Structure 1
Amino acid sequence: MEDIQLKIAANLKRLRKERNYTFDQLSALTGVSKGMLAQIERGTSSPTVSTLWKIANGLKVSFSSILEDEMKKATLVKKEDQPCVKSSDDNYHVYPYFSFDQNKKFEIYFIDLLPGCRHESDGHHSGVEEYVLVSEGTVHITIGENEYVISDGDALSFEANGPHCYENRGGKKASVFHFIYYS
């Protein structure tokens, strides 16, 4: 079992127990089957990005709180040392850099979008803002009916409580720094 699976398993179990939820109750809140939740909590299943977002949204916690380690006074983050959470089609790779901190109310990720990647989000709970800074390539971000094209060095911020989609329509990998702020 991978280290990231152990972290996810322990954090899901902790969050579920803190709220005194049964698997049935958690399943109703998240839209994830109770069997899948039990497998994740035992560390026998490696959940996708979409599944983790459903769990985070259902529990009204940050995405990184499911992946978090204890924060230190100074932290050097190297991409190659970070766990990689992948989409089911393996073209959207999320690297958690800085986990959610209740006092700061944000979390930071590095994301690789491989060629042809299309990652859709139903949106997050009210008060969530996303900040995206492209470090490589070009990313098309659709928010409702509006589409934004952001390239190397460009940035976009938006309220993330509605549907939005990230796409890499190019032939090369695109990479972004992704900040999520919880008001």
Structure 2
Amino acid sequence: MPRATGKRAAAAGTTALPSHMMIANSIYSARRRRGLTLAQLAGATDLDKGYLSRVERGQKSPSISTLLKIAEALGVQVGQLFGETTSEEAILVIRRDEHIDMKSDEQPGMGLLQAILPASNRRRLSLFMIEPGQEVNSRAADHPGDETVYVLSGALVIDFPDRSVELREGDCVHFDGHLRHDIRQVGRAKARALVIIAQDLSTRSED
């Protein structure tokens, strides 16, 4: 299939392509990356090979339902056919060896306190892994935002000012982070939990 060359290519550097041509080029490029022929794409989508050829040449504008079929067959998101791209900042991968140990002397009973997804002025969520131990912390926590605790193993108790909540493996609790609370293990088995804290970004100070 001929691509834009010469004066057309130069013009493309300064002028946005019409949407149907952007879609045409995206489908053509994605099909080539997948190593599919037009006949194979036609078979995977139940669309006519000649029709697909005209789509790739910008001579036909496919409907949304047709684009969904094509995107599925090509293994791409339909937005990619419209030229949408995902920025590097949009997806954050944190490896196991990048977890941050946050245990301090002020938490003598805490077996493990790791920040998996640390707090940031650019993120609402932060994620921690804890093994609380059996001792009650003399300085109960409180913080802005909401907190969710999900028990991965063992059993633990969360002490609030006027009540205590016991959680076992698979249990979850959600509460206002402004409530003073302390988390401790119950029983002999080591307890491990995920703690998710969600804050309004406007309440955070600048780094």
Q: Which has the higher contact order (CA 8 A, sep 6+)?
A: 1
Deviation at 1:111, TM superposition (A): 0.7
Gaps of 5+ in 1: 1-70
Higher CA-based Rg: 2
Indicate yes or no: 2:125 matched with 1:106: yes
Q: Distance between the aligned counterparts of 2:118 and 2:186, measured in 1? A: 29
Deviation at 1:163, TM superposition (A): 1.5
* Structure with more strand by fraction: 1
RMSD between superposed Cα atoms in Å: 2.2
Structure 2 partner of 1:82: 99
TM-score calculated relative to the size of structure 1: 0.52
Indicate yes or no: 2:114 matched with 1:95: yes
Structure 2 partner of 1:159: 176
Runs of 4+ aligned residues of structure 1 deviating over 6 Å after TM superposition are: none
Deviation at 1:103, TM superposition (A): 4.1
Name the CA shift for 1:131/1:96 in 2 (closer, same or farther; >3 Å).
same
Q: Distance between the aligned counterparts of 2:177 and 2:189, measured in 1? A: 26
Q: Distance between the aligned counterparts of 2:168 and 2:151, measured in 1? A: 6
Name the CA shift for 1:101/1:87 in 2 (closer, same or farther; >3 Å).
closer
Aligned residue type for 1:84: D
Name the CA shift for 1:82/1:103 in 2 (closer, same or farther; >3 Å).
closer
Alignment identity in percent? 16
3-state SS of paired residue (1:121): coil
Name the CA shift for 1:139/1:160 in 2 (closer, same or farther; >3 Å).
same
Deviation at 1:146, TM superposition (A): 1.8
Gaps of 5+ in 2: 1-88, 201-207
